Amino acid sequence: MIRNSLRALALVALAGTSLAAGHALAQDNPMVGGAAMFADKNIIENAVNSADHTTLVAAVKAADLVDTLSGPGPFTVLAPVNAAFDALPAGTVDTLLKPENKEMLQTVLGCHVIPALALSTDITKMVMDDGGEHKVDTVGGCVLTLKAADGKVTVTDENGTTANVTIADVRQSNGVIHVIDAVLTPKS
């Protein structure tokens, strides 16, 4: 279900990809997880090189979302670091990675994907325009609350978990990654 939604969104967004990709190629990217991130590579091609995102990459593979997130986008991916997954209750990641829980894993991962290109400047403007916080729908069906203050962006899920954006605007050929320090989950 999530996979089909991501594919549909990718096809709809195809028209805007050329502009986004051309703009992304002109930018310098920060290092993530000890690896260079290249604006001419897609989300998956870059994420597999980050030592800080091995759990996320394993989850994306287990959820069969590699092809989707390698697609044209544009996507904004809120990418939790390994420590964020480690902070979940014991056994949570192992349970989600089981084949019988693939649909739930797809939903959780979908809560980290916004079907649009949203750079930190875009997020800050949306937050300011909305009086201090901006709600955004994800492909996983989650509604996230974005806030920006003092040059920092936070993302809060429907359960009250707040993630800090620790590295913003890591441009990709098919969108942007913002590294976050917590795992966001669907409403429980």
The pLDDT of residue 28: 76
Q: How confident is the model at residue 36 (pLDDT cuts 50, 70, 90)?
A: confident
The pLDDT of residue 99: 94
Mean pLDDT of 28-36: 84
Per-residue pLDDT at 35 exceeds 90: no
Query: Whole-model pTM?
Result: 0.83
The pLDDT of residue 151: 83
What lies within 8 Å, CB to CB, of 93 at 6+ separation is 55, 59, 85
Per-residue pLDDT at 21 exceeds 80: no
The pLDDT of residue 15: 29
Angle, CA of 184, 165 and 5, to the nearest 5°? 45
- List pLDDT tens digits, range 91-105: 999 999 999 999 999
- List pLDDT tens digits, range 130-181: 999 999 999 999 999 999 988 889 999 999 999 999 999 999 999 999 999 9
What share of the chain has pLDDT > 70, as a percent? 86
- Does residue 2 or residue 147 have the better pLDDT? 147
Mean pLDDT of 24-38: 73
As a whole number of angstroms, the distance between CA 80 and CA 32 comes to 12
Angle, CA of 179, 44 and 4, to the nearest 5°? 105
Per-residue pLDDT at 2 exceeds 70: no
What is the assigned CATH class of domain 2-117+166-176? mainly beta
CA atoms within 13 A on the CB side of 89: 4
Per-residue pLDDT at 3 exceeds 50: no
The pLDDT of residue 13: 34
The pLDDT of residue 38: 87
CA Rg, the chain, in Å?
15
Helix intervals (H) in 26-101: 43-47, 54-62, 66-70, 82-86, 92-96
Average pLDDT, the chain: 85
